[in-house]
Structure 1
Amino acid sequence: MDMTSDGLETKAGAGSDVGALFAEFSRAFEEFKATNDQRLKDIEKRGSADGLIEGKIERLNAVLDGQKAAMDRVLVERARPLLDGKAAHDDGEYKHAFSAYVKRGEEKALSVGVNADGGYVVPGETETEITRLMTAVSPIRAIAGVRQVSGSVYKRPISVTGPATGWVGETASRPTTNSQTLAELSYPTTELYAMPAATSAFLDDAAVDVGQWIADEVNAAFAAQETTAFVTGNGTNKPTGFLAAPTVAEGSWEWGKLGYVATGTAGALPSSNASDVLIDLVYALKAGYRQNASWVMNRKVQGALRKLKDSDGNYMWQPAQTADGRARFMGFDLVEAEDMPNIGANSLSVAFGDFRRGYLIVDRQGVSVLRDPFSSKPYVLFYTTKRVGGGVADYDAIKLLKFAAS
């Protein structure tokens, strides 16, 4: 465990005991609140806070982040089911053939597992495991809508405006009303790949769980690339991120653009009543979306918002109530995504919305593996691919906070 100069733990030392990790996290947050209360009293009394207290606040923020990350790692590890030879059930001939293909390159006569370029489609439970682990470590995938498709493009018609209606008297004429306006959203899937390597000796080890090994190796690579694309991707050979969508001030919102609320100060929250602009952002979202809304921001922005209090003196940021839960801000779940920008002039550093309806991830069915024992001897490379697309599904379901004067 690492210690700060205050004796605070920056990495929880409770091993794999989730209960102990959560208890340490809770104690750190209580100390954070007490320290921040002192900081606020100093500001009220002297107009500024002591530098030592400011430094301790930042260290406590790092402690909270480190302890939450430690809990997340333990929970992901515990959630992994046993695969391949260690599983409680046998997936049959195909799974054994896949294992033989990965370990020794044996294809035999199992043509159902061979695709056009000579690779094997990953057995179903390994494919599911890769996706499930990415859900655990990829924050946007965990809250967005997800569709599985068999083709390369998913198209979705959407009604931008409903049919016009009107009240009429019993005998009055019924003029023709305008028809609804439809738009089509298209989500092409593009190839995401990872290429883990292993020695022949490693693969020959009978104890190796091949399916789990592939899932573990490609999981981190896939999740990191996916999350970046879902947030900031430009749509060129990758999904289109929600921050890549056109934006407009909320008062001028129109379909095809995401609305934003400006803080009124470039690169900062307002110097007084900072929470007001956050309340404005919450209520920029329609009630139908608000009930399932989440905040999305990175670690540093979350650290800044942890210091805020409401008009009754209560902290607006609250830790998760359970070890596997999410922190909440202003009563809504908070999702930490490191690809969100830091606070800066004109930055869109905070998103708030119903991402289940607002952002759609499209997965083409199947993950394939191509075994390559020649390109990087003595290592065997495994060219593992899946096809993923994504983009905004409902431009009214996500709102942004812009750190700008207007």
Structure 2
Amino acid sequence: MPTFDHAPETKAGIAGDDAQQVFDALMRAFEDYKTENDTRLKAIEAGKGDVLLEEKVDRINDALDAQQRRLDAIVLRQARPALELRGRTGGDSARLEHKSAFEAYVRSGDAGNLRNLETKALSVGSNPDGGYLVPPELEHTIGERLAAISPIRSIAAVREISSSVYKKPFMTAGPATGWVGETDGRPQTASPTLDALSFPAMELYAMPAATATLLDDAAVNIDDWIASEVELVFAVQEGAAFVNGDGVNKPKGFVSYPAVANGSWSWGNLGYVASGNAGAFAASNASDVLVDLIYALKAGYRQNASFVMNRKTQAAIRKFKDSTGAYLWQPPAQAGGRATLMTFPLVEAEDMPDIAANSLSIAFGDFRRGYLIVDRQGVRVLRDPYSAKPYVLFYTTKRVGGGVQDFDAIKLLKFAAS
């Protein structure tokens, strides 16, 4: 039996920042976890439950999570796109002009050239009270970085719009159809009935601060500084809204939609499967409900489906096994991959509810078909050198919306008796 001295905490210290080393340490930690948990289960079956062994498994479980967080952080750093530098090599002259004007505005507050450029382009961002549009390269970089770190954005459908609301039509009743013979008449069929879902883009803001020294330093890449300062703030706020936002001045999260038992599902609601136990999995055959959840989703959605849950819920299901004794949860197959649950990708979203009575703590579905994120074109920056002197604030805003677009593509697990 391996001891905890050889397990993940020690290895985490020597793994450094190399993704492959951390990944190898994660795999070794999972092997230790399986061995110790199997020993724990055998002791329980023999009526010799050991509190120290339980604590040992929990420590390894926590260390396994720490390894996964470290690996995620390394992969995120590697996934961040570099800012496009075409303007510096004499490419598109208009882009170079905008970039130079924007840098002059950020560094010194000189808005004259930027105002002229955006007025000439009839840009909606040219109002000094609302800020100025960042260069397109910076806007795209912020969007790509958000996709790398925002869990729901990474699996949902994303659409860019130029208006304040995106409306998506759908059929509530399709055209009448039928079978006919080769020479039979073709009677006129009923017309389809259409409705529309609305996805308004709400304003999201961040306000990084800079010192005069940083702004005067010509070696500092202003575009990269702004992108790195706002990416995490935007990602955290978006992540919370896409999961449980109420739709008031923010996107509507999928957990906030009405949920009904899957047998009573209708359009406009999300179907759920009950765990069979209030605030917990069933006392026996606990993992069976995960099978029920998977097959509550139609086959056309299952092939691209993912599980979504937070880290605490993931820790609970990590102990589940199938009938052959194999663990249902498996670590990523390679550095940069996702952990899997019953062969389906597992997306960790910390804003998902913890397991509690009547909580909707696990989602399963094809989120690319089920959830739509709309990004309005344009990220704006307003320079404020007065409110927090001697610091300069940069009020940075983007407009984003979101909501369920296909109510049949996402199913939930409700921790309730029925």
- TM superposition score normalised by structure 2: 0.91
Name the aligned partner's letter for residue 139 of structure 1.
Answer: P
Match for residue 93 of structure 1 among 87, 90, 97 = 97
Cα distance in 2, alignment partners of residues 87 and 333 from structure 1: 39
Count of equivalent residues: 402
In the alignment, what sits opposite 2:22? Answer: 21
Cα distance in 1, alignment partners of residues 30 and 326 from structure 2: 14
Label 1:11 to 1:208 Cα distance change in 2 as closer, same or farther (>3 A). Answer: farther
State the shift of 1:170 in Å: 5.8
My pick for the range that moved more, 84-93 or 112-121, is 84-93
Task: Give 3-state SS (helix, strand or coil) of 1:400's partner.
Answer: strand
Cα distance in 2, alignment partners of residues 335 and 191 from structure 1: 26
Output one character per residue of 1:187-222: Cα deviation in whole Å (capped at 9) or x when no partner.
000100000111111111111110111011111111
Q: 1:226 and 2:238 equivalent?
A: yes
Determine if contact 2:381/2:394 at 8 Å carries over to the other structure. Answer: yes
Cα distance in 2, alignment partners of residues 320 and 154 from structure 1: 36
In the alignment, what sits opposite 1:246? Answer: 258
Cα distance in 2, alignment partners of residues 167 and 22 from structure 1: 57
Determine if contact 2:204/2:400 at 8 Å carries over to the other structure. Answer: yes
Task: Give 3-state SS (helix, strand or coil) of 2:322's partner.
Answer: coil
Determine if contact 1:85/1:209 at 8 Å carries over to the other structure. Answer: no
Q: 1:103 and 2:104 equivalent?
A: no
Cα distance in 1, alignment partners of residues 87 and 269 from structure 2: 48
In the alignment, what sits opposite 1:79? Answer: 79
Cα distance in 2, alignment partners of residues 198 and 158 from structure 1: 47
Matched-pair identity in % = 61
In the alignment, what sits opposite 1:116? Answer: 127
In the alignment, what sits opposite 1:285? Answer: 297
Output one character per residue of 1:229-288: Cα deviation in whole Å (capped at 9) or x when no partner.
000000000000000101100000000000000011101111111121110110000000
Label 1:209 to 1:349 Cα distance change in 2 as closer, same or farther (>3 A). Answer: same
Alignment of 1:152-171 (within 5 A): 152-168=164-180
Output one character per residue of 1:29-52: Cα deviation in whole Å (capped at 9) or x when no partner.
111111111122122221x63212
In the alignment, what sits opposite 2:46? Answer: 45
Match for residue 301 of structure 1 among 313, 316, 326 = 313
Task: Give 3-state SS (helix, strand or coil) of 1:142's partner.
Answer: coil
Output one character per residue of 1:38-76: Cα deviation in whole Å (capped at 9) or x when no partner.
122122221x63212221222222112211111121222
State the shift of 1:174 in Å: 5.8
Name the aligned partner's letter for residue 98 of structure 2.
Answer: Y
In the alignment, what sits opposite 1:59? Answer: 59
**Structure 2 runs not aligned, ≥5 long:** 119-124
Alignment of 1:119-138 (within 5 A): 119-138=131-150
Determine if contact 1:145/1:356 at 8 Å carries over to the other structure. Answer: yes
Match for residue 330 of structure 1 among 318, 332, 342 = 342
Name the aligned partner's letter for residue 46 of structure 2.
Answer: K
Alignment of 1:266-281 (within 5 A): 266-281=278-293
In the alignment, what sits opposite 2:34? Answer: 33
Determine if contact 2:79/2:148 at 8 Å carries over to the other structure. Answer: no
Name the aligned partner's letter for residue 78 of structure 1.
Answer: Q
Task: Give 3-state SS (helix, strand or coil) of 2:170's partner.
Answer: strand
State the shift of 1:94 in Å: 1.5
Label 1:86 to 1:212 Cα distance change in 2 as closer, same or farther (>3 A). Answer: farther
Cα distance in 1, alignment partners of residues 113 and 89 from structure 2: 24
State the shift of 1:130 in Å: 1.2
State the shift of 1:8 in Å: 4.0
In the alignment, what sits opposite 2:390? Answer: 378
Task: Give 3-state SS (helix, strand or coil) of 1:292's partner.
Answer: coil
Cα distance in 2, alignment partners of residues 85 and 149 from structure 1: 25
Determine if contact 2:159/2:373 at 8 Å carries over to the other structure. Answer: yes
Cα distance in 1, alignment partners of residues 84 and 288 from structure 2: 54
Determine if contact 2:254/2:404 at 8 Å carries over to the other structure. Answer: yes
In the alignment, what sits opposite 1:256? Answer: 268
**Structure 1 runs not aligned, ≥5 long:** none
Alignment RMSD (CA, Å): 2.1
Alignment of 1:366-405 (within 5 A): 366-405=378-417
Label 1:380 to 1:39 Cα distance change in 2 as closer, same or farther (>3 A). Answer: same
Label 1:263 to 1:81 Cα distance change in 2 as closer, same or farther (>3 A). Answer: closer
Cα distance in 2, alignment partners of residues 404 and 322 from structure 1: 36
State the shift of 1:87 in Å: 8.7
State the shift of 1:347 in Å: 0.5
Cα distance in 1, alignment partners of residues 49 and 329 from structure 2: 21
- TM superposition score normalised by structure 1: 0.94
Determine if contact 1:258/1:396 at 8 Å carries over to the other structure. Answer: yes
Determine if contact 1:83/1:209 at 8 Å carries over to the other structure. Answer: no
Cα distance in 1, alignment partners of residues 173 and 51 from structure 2: 54
Name the aligned partner's letter for residue 44 of structure 1.
Answer: E
Determine if contact 1:130/1:219 at 8 Å carries over to the other structure. Answer: yes
Name the aligned partner's letter for residue 127 of structure 2.
Answer: A
Task: Give 3-state SS (helix, strand or coil) of 2:17's partner.
Answer: coil
Cα distance in 1, alignment partners of residues 310 and 386 from structure 2: 41
Determine if contact 2:268/2:407 at 8 Å carries over to the other structure. Answer: yes
My pick for the range that moved more, 130-139 or 142-151, is 130-139
Task: Give 3-state SS (helix, strand or coil) of 1:213's partner.
Answer: helix
Determine if contact 2:8/2:28 at 8 Å carries over to the other structure. Answer: no
Determine if contact 1:11/1:63 at 8 Å carries over to the other structure. Answer: no
Output one character per residue of 1:54-107: Cα deviation in whole Å (capped at 9) or x when no partner.
212222221122111111212222233443879974651221221111111122
Match for residue 201 of structure 1 among 200, 210, 213 = 213
Name the aligned partner's letter for residue 397 of structure 1.
Answer: A
